[in-house]
Amino acid sequence: MYLGVRTFLSAPPDNPGTAWEGTLLQDYGTTVILTLTNPMTIISFAGVFAALGIGAVSGGDYSAVLMVLGVITGSLAWWVLLVGGTSVLGSRCNRRVLGLVNRIAGILIFLFGIALFAAIFL
């Protein structure tokens, strides 16, 4: 709930700077390494493989490779859409629009905090 209030009250920066000046290949490589070393990614893959019984399926290694390729293809498509959409919308955002986004995000985060608090303590 605190994060929601802070987000709601924060003002967007006057000059948003660039965080990284690398090439697209460096950006891609960094993202792949970060994703693969994320423990939640590893646990998610293990859970999906176990739930689908990939090790027990008659296809064996072939079905596991197909599953991994499907996940990689889906992830790549998601990131291309996300980055492309952000690129298009980012050039149209001004300080007023970013302030509105902060207000909406702050309210949503605050409401999720209330829901979590209610789920735990009530």
Write the pLDDT tens digit of every residue in 76-117: 888 788 888 877 877 777 888 889 999 999 999 999 999 999
As a whole-number percent, the residues of the chain with pLDDT over 70 amount to 88
Is there a domain that residue 17 lies in? no
Residues 6 or more apart whose CB falls under 8 angstroms from that of 111 comprise: 4
**Alpha carbon distance 82, 84 (integer Å):** 6
Is there a domain that residue 71 lies in? yes
Angle 22-25-27 from CA coordinates, rounded to 5°: 50
Is there a domain that residue 88 lies in? yes
Domain that holds residue 8: 2-12+24-121
